[in-house]
Amino acid sequence: MSTEDAPADFDLDAAWRLDDRVSIRPERFGALLYHFGTRRLSFLKNPTLLAVVRGLATHPDARAACAEAGVGPGELPRYRAALAALADSRMIQPRSP
């Protein structure tokens, strides 16, 4: 899948948050996420993606969390795809209004 083909069902303009059952372990390359409910492990392969994930709860939407972490418009499709994968694995979930 190319970065231009990011999953259309992930809404960057929606509010997201880390699932309560997910633990973050920072690493040199980014971080490891462990979901205690599903027992799944995910790798965040760079510190910018870690900053985006950590910023989800404090920003009005995923797009704002990306912007705050320094993700430029040209990089946004790649980060959208990464966030979609995290949503599919239930590491992040929509935040209630």
Summarize pLDDT for 30-88 with one digit per residue, the tens: 899 999 999 999 999 999 999 999 999 999 999 999 999 999 999 999 999 999 999 99
pLDDT of 97 above 90: no
Q: What is the pTM of this model?
A: 0.88
Using an 8 Å Cβ cutoff, are 26 and 13 in contact? Answer: no
Mean pLDDT of 18-26: 96
| 49 vs 1 pLDDT, higher one | 49
C-alpha distances (whole Å) from 30 to each of 27, 76, 87 are: 5, 18, 18
Give the integer Cα–Cα distance in Å for 41 and 47. Answer: 17
Residue with tokens 């870690």: 50
pLDDT value of residue 96: 83
**Backbone CA torsion sign across 71, 76, 78, 80:** positive
Give the integer Cα–Cα distance in Å for 94 and 97. Answer: 9
